[in-house]
Structure 1
Amino acid sequence: MHRKKWVALLLVLVVFFAGLLVELVSGSYDELADNPGFSWDENVVSGSGTGKIVQLFVSGVISGEQNSTGMPSMSQLLTEQLRRVEEDANVKALVLRIDSPGGEVVATDELHARISRLKQVRHIPIVVSMGSTAASGGYYLATTGDAIFANPNTLTGSLGVIFNLVNYSEAANRLGVRQFAIKSGRFKDIGSPARPLTDPERQIFQTLVNESYSKFVDVIVRGRNLSRQRVLEIADGRVYSGEQAKRLGLIDQFGDLEDATRYALSLSGESEALIVRYTDQLSLSKLLFSMKQYWSNPDPLGLSRILERESSPKLLYQFMP
């Protein structure tokens, strides 16, 4: 009899979850797409008291694009986490752990603006801890810090902008492939991979790069209190080690995440505080949403994204060896 009860319970659970999956696939759970992934638990790493030191992590390429499952981009997630920090009066300092080669100019600049807004609204100290790589756009974000910690072997620098264009015109000519562009203006097909880049087109792209580069120089000048001339001398795109960056005034101290967190606590005015991280709140609905996105993905290998990147060039604050 006892066994029959367990079998019956199991059948009920199977039917329940099967119903959820059917409804999910049929689209009745589309409301999950409105705000997926924007919920976190506060994970207390250590410490005590009512005040909080929040550790936020900038990991990987900075992008405003959603991933292949349709979940929010890294930029969106960090923006919402920064909003949570801003709205929590108990947060007394922020530690940004950056392990990133940089990424898209727009996404990087938007995050920089969001962090700067946090400083203006809350007036809390921000300390940056660099991981193995904090280059280009990663360093762009680091300039918001009141202090920057790094390892002597951290790869940083790569201060500049890159704009890549793929061109297959010679290969197309050899294969007898031709593309005809019926356009409304002289530059409407600027950067077309099917023909060589003209000098006027190159100058247009160079102007865009120069504008973004000038903005990069500006944030370093303001964030690091260096002269513009000095920044122009060192911002030639090369990468620096942590040792070199310290000599150049690009970072302040050597140390790891714990060292940066202790320093943030000393700046916060608190004698003790909770060290907090935001961890993703796992839920059945989120899991099912991800499964739905995967099942309905017509390109599970991500080939379309590779082709899209090649055909849709972007201005990048990114270290690209």
Structure 2
Amino acid sequence: MVQPLPNPPQPTPPQQIIIQNGSRGSILWRIVAAIGWLGVMFCIPIILALAISSSSYYNTTEGVSEKFFSGDKTADNKIAVINITGVIMSGEGYIRKQIDLAREDKDVKAVVVRVDSPGGTVTGSDYILHHLKQLKKDRDIPLIVSMGAMATSGGYYVSMAVEDEKDSIFAEPTTTTGSIGVIIPHYNISGLMKEYHVEDDSIMSHPRKQMLTMTREMSPENREILQEYVNQSFTRFKDIVKEGRPQFAADPAKLDVLATGEIFTATQALDSGLIDKIGFIEEAVARAAELAKIDVKSTRVVTYTQPTSLFDVGLSQSKAMSWDTMLELSAPKAYYLSSYLPPIVSSFPLRSN
């Protein structure tokens, strides 16, 4: 029997090489990747610039930090708003720190001084005025005043930092201003002491050491001495007003009519020449930008804040009741202050140091 031959091996089919036409998709992905990397490289400088421009918001100098107020957050040019609020005592502290920050910041192209103060001590008011004028001189930048609810007496005094700049003092429609004058508070309780058989038996080097004592009636001689002291401070006040309001330098009699301690509404102040414009802080900012020759829409308006902790509040309240504070307040001082009360103020919350 013949055995069948085994099936011969089948030839292996030739391997087919399939070439896919994917070059177009590969090029497309490469283009997308390249655009992505270019975008990343383009964004990095922008992010760094934004970080640098915003870093000043977190910089704190002795408790005072910069805060965005209005305008363009990313702009380089700045207008600084310096706040003078509350009763002015020494002038040091918060106000001085704001002035120093504005002076050191080369991006600040103009300053708006926001005044909301009834005034305070003669020396404190003059101290602030001096440093505001020095800031304006050192940086050669315009300075505009925006009056809030009240800018009277010492508050009006510091507003004269604008000097002879045209259209530089803005007051809101409800602002109270004026009260140009000087006062040394004095109270006589000698009659009450007699009624209760209480005597002041102080030992002093000279009777004038107690010129302002409440326990004795003031003599005509002492009153004349103190009146001359007030008159000299009053003369300086009017001289400062003439520097900020040149029309009064040309007509001093017109200033004498206004400098009686009387307060004025914004409309009355405008009519008498004590202010230039009735407007809000936005108008003052726009005027500052105009004088600085910068675009207000492309400007970062900043202010300076001073955080207050619960510890600070407690410390200030305890200081208000301290013996040192009572002695400080009882010392004879002349005030540019619009008030019918004795200047019993504490470092919180009215003090603007």
Q: Same fold (TM over 0.5)?
A: yes
Compared with structure 1, are the counterparts of its residues 37 and 172 closer, same or farther at alpha carbon in structure 2 (3 Å cutoff)?
farther
- The question of whether the paired residues in 1 share the 8 Å contact of 2:94 and 2:306 is answered with no
Distance 1:77 1:257 in 2: 20
Distance 1:157 1:291 in 2: 32
Asked if 1:184 is matched to 2:201, the reply is no
Moved more, 144-153 or 121-130: 144-153
TM-superposition CA deviations, 1:11-67 (whole Å, max 9, x none) = xxxxxxxxxxxxxxxxxxxxxxxxx98232221223232111001111111112xxx
SS at 1:195's partner residue? coil
Q: Residue 118 of structure 1 aligns to which amino acid in structure 2? A: L
Task: State the partner residue of 1:276.
Answer: 302
- The question of whether the paired residues in 2 share the 8 Å contact of 1:43 and 1:278 is answered with yes
Distance 2:313 2:326 in 1: 24
- The question of whether the paired residues in 1 share the 8 Å contact of 2:151 and 2:178 is answered with yes
Compared with structure 1, are the counterparts of its residues 251 and 45 closer, same or farther at alpha carbon in structure 2 (3 Å cutoff)?
same
Distance 1:124 1:300 in 2: 38
SS at 2:157's partner residue? helix
- The question of whether the paired residues in 1 share the 8 Å contact of 2:64 and 2:94 is answered with no
Task: State the partner residue of 2:18.
Answer: none
Report how far residue 160 of structure 1 moved. 0.5
Compared with structure 1, are the counterparts of its residues 175 and 134 closer, same or farther at alpha carbon in structure 2 (3 Å cutoff)?
same
The runs of 5 or more residues in structure 1 that have no matched partner are: 1-35, 65-73
TM-superposition CA deviations, 1:85-125 (whole Å, max 9, x none) = 11111110001111111111111110001101111111111
Task: State the partner residue of 1:265.
Answer: 289
Distance 2:105 2:319 in 1: 39
Task: State the partner residue of 2:315.
Answer: 293
- The question of whether the paired residues in 1 share the 8 Å contact of 2:319 and 2:325 is answered with no
Task: State the partner residue of 1:104.
Answer: 121
Q: Residue 173 of structure 1 aligns to which amino acid in structure 2? A: K
Report how far residue 192 of structure 1 moved. 1.6
Task: State the partner residue of 2:141.
Answer: 124
What root-mean-square deviation, in Å, do the aligned CA atoms of Structure 1 and Structure 2 show?
A: 2.4
- Normalised by the length of structure 2, the TM-score is 0.71
Report how far residue 141 of structure 1 moved. 0.8
Identity of aligned residues (%): 33
Distance 1:161 1:305 in 2: 25
Task: State the partner residue of 1:95.
Answer: 112
- Structure 1 residue runs of 4 or more that deviate by more than 6 Å after TM superposition: none
Moved more, 99-108 or 227-236: 227-236
How many residues end up aligned between the 2 structures?
A: 270
Q: Residue 290 of structure 1 aligns to which amino acid in structure 2? A: D
Compared with structure 1, are the counterparts of its residues 306 and 168 closer, same or farther at alpha carbon in structure 2 (3 Å cutoff)?
farther
- Normalised by the length of structure 1, the TM-score is 0.78
1:156-171 alignment, distance < 5 Å: 156-171=177-192
TM-superposition CA deviations, 1:267-290 (whole Å, max 9, x none) = 1111231101112357xxxx4863
Distance 1:87 1:265 in 2: 19
